[in-house]
Structure 1
Amino acid sequence: MTVRTCAAVTAILVSAGCGASPPVPAQPGKPVNVKASSMKEGFGTLERLAQAAKQEGALTVIALPHDWVNYGEIIETFADKYGIEVKELEPNASSRRSIDAAAQLKPDVFDLTLDVAVASAGKFAPYRVRGWQDLPDHIKDPSGGWYAAYGGYMSIGYDPRAVPAPASFADLAKPEYKVALDGDPLRSAAAFGGVMAASLQNGTPQPRYGVELFGRLKKAGQLTDPAKANVIVNWDHLNAARSAQDSESWKVTIPRGAPLGAYHVQAISKDAPHPAAARLWQEFLFSDEGQNLLQKGYARPARGEAMIMRGTLDTEQAARLPAVPGPPVLLTIPQTDAARSYLKKEWARSVG
């Protein structure tokens, strides 16, 4: 099953699926192919891949803010481990901006929302990481163009000193809640996700309900900016990271009935200036070390279930992730497209 159809997906974010058979290993001494579709095919060993990457001397990334899923530590660890300079472009760029700017800025790798990755598949160099078989089939392109590294749930972060824990998105209409989204849902993937989480009806997205809720909040003077809010609707890894800094003033909940989940996927640019470094970066992100570093940033590792079975997942950190009410609802590409079209027509009129 691919994300292109993504029908009736009910797999847990950390669930594993069957993958493709591993490529045939390269023979010792075989020339390196820095544009190969797997490590074994192009390099034979991780050591040869690392050597080729170090010879390139650099890796160029885009849209990786340091406070997003622990990317600051991940970048520093990768650079120190392999002696490779990481050039960071536009850390706060959106997925769409990353793709649109690629021809000019020439990043080696991408971290993208699923819809942008699917729409941009022709821009990627196929590559299957060593942990390919651990990734569920519905979160990877069969050809190897893109593949999810981590996922998360839409959540409600709240100040327990000011308001009780909301049991549902409908609770946010109560007058004590001052609510913020993380940006404009017409531009921000996180804000769009917040509206869609509020729209869920028995596991089905109904964009009208989300727009109506935030319209009521706006009319009542309860929709505000994050600095003034006692509730922020955002991805659970961001709310959880804030809660970890000060659990007395910030807590996080994923409401029952609204378990909206999403994945972020990785890809290598087919025009990557540093193709070996790009492949080494993917191997690092999908290694046990890389997946645990993502989880340290409160993301949910895509290889998590396989790592649990092998005893390589940091279970202490896993226990710190926000509790979830059940399997996630994952929007299909058609559902996402339809919802974005609806918001373009109705958000400004209903919410402003």
Structure 2
Amino acid sequence: MTVRIGAAATMILIATTAGCGSTPAQDDGKLPPVKPQAASLKDGFSTMDRLVEAAKKEGSLTVIGLPRDWVNYGEIIDTFSDEYGIKVNQVEPAASSRREIEAAAQLRPDVFDLSLEVAVANAPMFAPYRVQRWLDVPDHLKDYGGRWYAGYGGYMSIGYDPRKVAAPASYQDLLKPGYSVSLPGDPRQTAAAFNGVMAASLSAGKAEAARGVAFFGRLKKAGNLAANERAATVVVDWDYHNAERAAHEANGWKVAIPGDSVLSAYYVQAINKDAPHPAAARLWQEFLFSDRGQNLFLKGYARPVRMEALQMHGGLDTEAASRLPVTSAKPVILTIPETDTAKTYLKKEWAEKVG
């Protein structure tokens, strides 16, 4: 995703520092009282040091739906905890975005990591908070009021076993003899699988559910649709999953992102308006959007939302960036109405046309 920073670029170049950043030291006796529920660092804490102090007093942070092997969240959590001496309670790490919302009243997480459509649908549950790097986040990937904002994302890709099949130059190549194709789950239930169907449908930069379902129907008819990922020579999945697999399997797995356009999606961050640890929740967001936090996502093969800003001021982990799958394709992000329409179509037609 190309992040268009525009006139904010000059400000970012001046203001950005290597870590979460800190504001000039001031006499605490002249500062207003800390307001942990505030919508910005300046309004609630005045300085980064005071935010850190308030978060440390709370002592812990509860996160939900963050598997340790997902986009490097294990290292992200450990680094945050070690840096600030705050215990991170990890509840239901395998929870889907919808499950995070359903479980919020019972499990009381401080923060959420959600798909865009789930975040938009549940915005009243979130506390507004604009991180210091707010201007780096593209307008179409954040709520104007600060209730949610994208943190990282990826491109839909084709992972394949080069020992068994040739590198696909297009999704149409997957219809050729010898390919055995799988999705990471049922596209009616799993977001990555749904996006795989939509990625295969891209034509002239436009995704269409009917075209995607028809394509997978043709794969099945040709005998090229695998029963599961273990039996497949090709897996259509997010590039951060396929790239991580390629890193671990050396010559046994490679990644291709064919075509002039590529389906892209981002996960967004949000603070629970009823967060038991509101200061720690805000410190967590500042950490995730700092140069350090964004580069930790990059280390997990995700594409940080601030990637262009990091490049501009020299803060990008270039070694980690060099490991991302290379593509010159134009990113396409589905709108929420497009997503809703496509999901409705798949629920109606997938079983009949694909099975």
Instruction: Report the TM-score when normalising by structure 2.
Output: 0.92
Match of 2:225 in 1: 223
Q: How does 1:106-145 map to 2 (within 5 A)?
A: 106-145=108-147
- 1:247 deviates by 2.6
Separation in structure 1 between the aligned mates of residue 89 and residue 237 of structure 2, nearest angstrom: 28
Unaligned runs of 5+ in 1: 1-11
Is the partner of 1:223 in helix, strand or coil? coil
Q: How does 1:30-45 map to 2 (within 5 A)?
A: 30-45=32-47
Match of 2:154 in 1: 152
Match of 2:19 in 1: none
Match of 1:309 in 2: 312
Contact 2:261 2:330 in 1 (8 A): no
Aligned mate of 1:296, from 279, 296, 299: 299
Residue 221 and residue 213 in structure 1: after superposition, are their counterparts in 2 closer, same or farther (change >3 A)?
Answer: same
- 1:14 deviates by 4.3
Give CA-to-partner distance per residue, 1:76-135, whole Å, 9 cap, x none: 101111111111111111111111111111111111111111111111000000100111
Match of 1:70 in 2: 72
Contact 1:15 1:302 in 2 (8 A): no
Is the partner of 1:65 in helix, strand or coil? coil
> What is the root-mean-square deviation in Å for CA atoms of aligned residues?
1.8
Separation in structure 2 between the aligned mates of residue 117 and residue 176 of structure 1, nearest angstrom: 40
Equivalent AA in structure 2 for residue 299 of structure 1: A
Equivalent AA in structure 2 for residue 344 of structure 1: K
Aligned mate of 2:206, from 199, 204, 207: 204
Residue 172 and residue 274 in structure 1: after superposition, are their counterparts in 2 closer, same or farther (change >3 A)?
Answer: same
Contact 1:17 1:136 in 2 (8 A): no
Contact 1:18 1:135 in 2 (8 A): no
Equivalent AA in structure 1 for residue 276 of structure 2: P
Unaligned runs of 5+ in 2: 13-22
The sequence identity of aligned pairs, in percent, is 63
Is the partner of 2:177 in helix, strand or coil? coil
Match of 1:241 in 2: 244
Aligned mate of 2:170, from 168, 171, 178: 168
Match of 1:273 in 2: 276
Q: How does 1:90-109 map to 2 (within 5 A)?
A: 90-109=92-111
2:254 aligned with 1:285, yes or no?
A: no
- 1:218 deviates by 2.5
Equivalent AA in structure 2 for residue 129 of structure 1: V
Residue 32 and residue 255 in structure 1: after superposition, are their counterparts in 2 closer, same or farther (change >3 A)?
Answer: same
Equivalent AA in structure 2 for residue 55 of structure 1: K
Residue 188 and residue 13 in structure 1: after superposition, are their counterparts in 2 closer, same or farther (change >3 A)?
Answer: farther
Aligned mate of 1:16, from 5, 29, 37: 5
Give CA-to-partner distance per residue, 1:169-226, whole Å, 9 cap, x none: 1111112111111111111110000000011111111111111121222334332211
2:346 aligned with 1:343, yes or no?
A: yes
Equivalent AA in structure 1 for residue 293 of structure 2: G
Is the partner of 1:72 in helix, strand or coil? helix
Is the partner of 1:306 in helix, strand or coil? helix
Contact 1:255 1:325 in 2 (8 A): no
Contact 2:260 2:330 in 1 (8 A): no
What number of residue pairs does the alignment pair up?
A: 339
Q: Which moved more, 1:191-200 or 1:241-250?
A: 241-250
Whichever structure has more helix as a proportion of its residues is: 2
Equivalent AA in structure 1 for residue 5 of structure 2: A
Residue 15 and residue 326 in structure 1: after superposition, are their counterparts in 2 closer, same or farther (change >3 A)?
Answer: farther
Equivalent AA in structure 2 for residue 244 of structure 1: A
Is the partner of 1:60 in helix, strand or coil? strand
Contact 1:27 1:44 in 2 (8 A): no
Separation in structure 2 between the aligned mates of residue 65 and residue 187 of structure 1, nearest angstrom: 18
Contact 1:15 1:304 in 2 (8 A): no
2:262 aligned with 1:259, yes or no?
A: yes
Contact 2:2 2:308 in 1 (8 A): no
Q: How does 1:182-201 map to 2 (within 5 A)?
A: 182-201=184-203
Equivalent AA in structure 2 for residue 155 of structure 1: S
Residue 77 and residue 160 in structure 1: after superposition, are their counterparts in 2 closer, same or farther (change >3 A)?
Answer: same
Equivalent AA in structure 2 for residue 316 of structure 1: E
Match of 2:16 in 1: none
- Runs (4 or more) in structure 1 with deviation over 6 Å come to 24-27
Is the partner of 1:204 in helix, strand or coil? coil
Give CA-to-partner distance per residue, 1:274-333, whole Å, 9 cap, x none: 111100100000000000000001111111111111111112211211112322011011
Residue 73 and residue 197 in structure 1: after superposition, are their counterparts in 2 closer, same or farther (change >3 A)?
Answer: same
Separation in structure 1 between the aligned mates of residue 5 and residue 131 of structure 2, nearest angstrom: 15
- 1:153 deviates by 0.3
Separation in structure 2 between the aligned mates of residue 220 and residue 242 of structure 1, nearest angstrom: 27
Equivalent AA in structure 1 for residue 283 of structure 2: L
Separation in structure 1 between the aligned mates of residue 27 and residue 348 of structure 2, nearest angstrom: 58
Residue 17 and residue 337 in structure 1: after superposition, are their counterparts in 2 closer, same or farther (change >3 A)?
Answer: farther
Separation in structure 1 between the aligned mates of residue 32 and residue 353 of structure 2, nearest angstrom: 63
Equivalent AA in structure 2 for residue 59 of structure 1: L
